[in-house]
């Protein structure tokens, strides 16, 4: 377990501790903010650390690497601007969930600040076939879900990738997402399904229409009274996903930044009514380990303000 002492004591928000499942559900449904993606996994962590100004020679082995990235995430979570009400949720990597911030489990540290905790559950991607990359098997998923629920986590996030407008591949990737989603629902958690459509893919406008149709079809497999969340690339056609946003079995539709810069992602997101951000790169791109607290907080606060504005536009 990673335990770090960070520079600021967590001050509980007015939503602290009392946030129950119904409160978290309402907060996400209202969508008066955005979800921070703090879930870089093992394969992407070195790149994320380099972007933060931590070079490869500053750590050795996985334990030190994950300690460095946890320190970054702890600094973000304990920044005063992170609990100003504009960040309504945060997605954690498994090791971050199992770690602590100021002596508290990370999910509780978020709840104390009025922020709904999610956990990334996928184990990476299979090799591409039929224009898509499916999720790798998750044989220990039920155990992870039980542990997450015990720590107060509200929901999960699971990512796969679409690289071309292949109807067979898109149908398969959506079916897999919903299969995992039903498993998450059975464990008492809220699934955030993420069939990411690569923004570099040719024919993306056509493929996104196929994706939307497959999602609508698979929503029929969700029991009455249950809901899922969707995390999707910002569509080429503005408001393409309006039907999904309004669907009674969809709690919220959130957008990934997908390689866009903060400015690009926010401009694209603002064209899509009812879709809120769930950005990683768009939130973290200008943060550096070398910044003092004032500079760090100012930089993070500016990104939060910009992403929030685009989410509620």
Q: Hey, which residues are catalytic here? A: 194, 231
CA dihedral 238, 308, 93, 61 (to 10 degrees): 110
Is there a contact between 35 and 254 (Cβ–Cβ < 8 Å)? yes
Question: In terms of C-beta density within 10 A (0-12 exposed, 13-18 middle, 19 or more buried), how is residue 233 classed?
Answer: buried
Strand-strand pairing, 228-233 and 190-197: parallel
CA gap 206, 153 in Å, rounded = 36
C-alpha closest to that of 111 among 141, 77, 81: 77
**Closest to 258 (Cα-Cα) out of 214, 201, 210, 182:** 201
Residue with tokens 């550096």: 288
Q: Annotate 191-254 with three-state secondary structure.
A: EEEEEEECCCCCCHHHHHHHHHHHHHHHHHHCCCCCCEEEEEECCCCCCCCHHHHHCCCEEEEE
**In degrees, to the nearest 5, what angle opens at C-alpha 191 toward C-alphas 186 and 195?**
130
From first CA to last CA, the distance across the chain in angstroms is 40
DSSP 65-108: HHHHHHHHHHHHHTSGGGGSSSEEEEEE-HHHHHSEETTEEHHH
Strands 104-105 and 100-101: antiparallel
H/E segment holding residue 132:
strand 132-133
């Amino acid at each position: 377990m990673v335990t770090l002492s960070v520079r600021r004591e967590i001050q509980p928000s007015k939503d602290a501790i009392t946030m129950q499942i119904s409160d978290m559900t309402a907060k996400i449904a209202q969508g008066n903010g955005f979800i921070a993606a703090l879930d870089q996994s093992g394969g992407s962590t070195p790149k994320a650390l380099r972007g933060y100004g931590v070079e490869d020679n500053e750590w050795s082995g996985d334990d030190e690497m994950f300690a460095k990235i946890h320190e970054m995430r702890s600094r973000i979570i304990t920044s005063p601007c992170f609990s100003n009400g504009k960040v309504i949720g945060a997605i954690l990597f498994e090791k971050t969930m199992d770690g602590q911030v100021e002596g508290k489990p990370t999910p509780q540290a978020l709840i104390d600040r009025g922020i709904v905790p999610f956990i990334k559950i996928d184990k990476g991607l299979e090799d591409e076939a039929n224009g898509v990359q499916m999720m790798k098997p998750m044989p220990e998923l039920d155990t992870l879900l039980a542990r997450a629920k015990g720590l107060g986590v509200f929901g999960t996030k699971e990512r796969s990738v679409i690289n071309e407008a292949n109807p067979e591949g898109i149908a398969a990737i959506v079916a897999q997402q919903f299969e995992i989603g039903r498993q998450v629902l059975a464990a008492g958690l809220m699934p955030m399904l993420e069939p990411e459509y690569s923004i570099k893919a040719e024919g993306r406008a056509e493929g996104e229409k196929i994706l939307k149709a497959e999602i609508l079809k698979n929503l029929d497999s969700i029991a009455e009274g249950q809901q899922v969340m969707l995390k999707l690339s910002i569509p080429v056609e503005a408001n393409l996903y309006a039907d999904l946003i309004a669907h009674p079995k969809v709690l919220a539709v959130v957008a990934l930044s997908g390689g866009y810069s903060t400015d690009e992602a926010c401009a694209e997101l603002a064209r899509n009514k009812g879709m809120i951000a769930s950005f990683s790169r768009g939130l973290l791109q200008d943060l550096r380990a070398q910044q003092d607290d004032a500079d760090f907080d100012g930089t993070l606060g500016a990104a939060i303000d910009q992403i929030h504005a685009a989410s509620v536009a």
